[in-house]
Amino acid sequence: MRRGAGRPRVAAFLLIGQWIMASQARRFPPWLRKRIPPESQVQRVRELLARLQLHTVCQSAHCPNLCECFARGTATFMILGNVCTRNCGFCAVEDGTPGPLDPEEPARVAEAVASLGVKHVVVTSVTRDDLPDGGSGHFAATISAIRAACAASVEVLTPDFQGRWDCVERVLAARPDVFNHNVETVPRLYPRVRPQARYERSLALLGRVARVPGPPRAGERSGDGRGEAVTKSGLMVGLGESHDEVAEVMKDLREVGCQALTVGQYLSPSGEHLPVERFVTPEEFDTYRDEAEAMGFAAVAAGPFVRSSYRADALLGGLSPSVRS
C-alpha cells in the first residue's frame, strides 16, 4: 500500500501566518485560514509555466491564493522579467538591475493563455524605469499576441510609467479590456510603502485613462465615448491606514472616474518586508465594499484574500454591459 493512502485526501488547511510570516511571532485570525486544493490540481499550470519559461506574480509575490487560482486554471502573468527597478516595502518581487527584454515573451504568454483556455487574463509586470518606453511596447505586444491567439479578454495591471502619458497611450492603443493600476495604499503611507511612487501621479494616470475613449470598435462611431478600457485600481489595508483615509482614497478614485476597485488584506511576504499593522475583519471589508458601491464603483471586491487579480474574470463579469462595452 502506498504510504499515505487511506489518509483523508484533503486535510490540508493552510494557516497563512504559519508560512508567510513564520518569522513574526503573531497569531493570525481565523478568517485567514484557507483550504488549499491538492497539488495534483495545481500541477498543470505549474508545468505549463515552467515549460514556457514564464513568470507569474502569483509565484513571485508569494500570493496566498496561488493554489486556488492555479487549480482553477488561471494565473497572472508577469512580463518584462522578474527583477524590478523599484523596491516597495510590501513587495516580494526581487529588486535590482533587470536583464534585457525577451522579445519572444509576448508570444509565449499568448500560447499559455490559449492553452489554459481562460476567458479573461491579467497581465502585469515588474516596473522597468530603466527602459526608454517603460516597457509599454512590450505590454502592447503582449496584448496583441493574446488577441491573435485566442478570444480572452485582457486586463493589464501596469506600473505608473513615471507618469509618462506616451507610455500609457502605447498600452491603450493595443485595446486592453481593463486598465488596472493600483494606488496600493493611502497617500500618508507612500514614503514607507511605495517610496519611488507618488499618489497624485497614480491618481492622475487613472483619471486620464478613464477620460480617454479608445479607437472605435467595429460598428462604433469615433468619439462616442465607447470602447474605452474599464479602469480599475486597488489597495491593501492593514498597513497602518485609518478607515477614513481608505474612504478618502476611494472617493479620490471615483472622482477621477475609476470604475472598479479591489481592497485586500496586506500580508507581509517575509520578516524583511513591512509588518502587518492590523488584521482587518471581514465585517470591515464588507463596510468598505458597501461604501465603495455607494460611491458609484461599478464593481467592487473587498475581503481578506482579495488581490487586484483575484477572480478578475468575475469582477469584470459583474460590470454592467454599458460599462464593459
Binding site for ligand SF4 (CB under 6 A): 57-58, 63, 65-66, 69, 74-76, 307, 309-310
**Gap between the Cα atoms of 121 and 177, Å rounded:** 10
Of 155 and 160, CB closest to ligand SF4: 155
Minimum CB separation from ligand SF4 for residue 66, in Å? 4
Q: How many helices and strands in the chain, by DSSP H and E?
A: 13, 10
Of the two residues 65 and 142, which places its CB atom closer to ligand SF4 in the complex?
65
Residues 6 or more apart whose Cβ sits within 8 Å of residue 119: 151, 152, 153, 313
CB of 34 to ligand SF4, least distance (A): 12
Q: Which is nearer to ligand SF4, 60 or 231 (CB)?
A: 60
* Shortest reach from residue 95's CB to ligand SF4, in Å: 18
Reading the block at residue 55, the C-alpha cell is 513568470
Map grid coordinates 509576448 to a residue. 106
The residue count for the chain: 325
Question: 32 or 167, CB closer to ligand SF4?
Answer: 32
Instruction: State which amino acid sits at residue 190.
Output: Y
Are 307 and 74 a contacting pair, CB within 8 Å? no
Q: Please name the residues in contact with 276: beta carbons below 8 A apart, sequence gap of 6 or more.
A: 21, 24, 26, 238, 239, 265, 266, 267, 268
Q: How far is the CB of 75 from ligand SF4 (least distance, A)?
A: 6
Strands 260-265 and 230-237: parallel
Q: Calculate Rg over the CA atoms of the chain.
A: 19
Nearer to ligand SF4, 157 or 167 (CB): 157
Task: Using alpha carbons only, give the angle 305, 50, 89 rounded to the nearest 5 degrees.
Answer: 40
C-beta of 76 vs 180, nearer to ligand SF4: 76
Q: Which residue has the cell 481593463?
A: 178
Give the nearest distance from C-beta 161 to ligand SF4 in angstroms: 21
User: 139 vs 310, which CB is nearer to ligand SF4?
Assistant: 310
Q: How far is the CB of 91 from ligand SF4 (least distance, A)?
A: 12
Give the integer Cα–Cα distance in Å for 306 and 308. Answer: 7
Nearer to ligand SF4, 75 or 167 (CB): 75
Provide, rounded to whole angstroms, the least separation between the CB of residue 307 and ligand SF4.
4
- 57 touches 63 (CB < 8 A): yes
Cell 511605495, residue located: 194
- Closest approach, Cβ 147 to ligand SF4, in A, equals 20
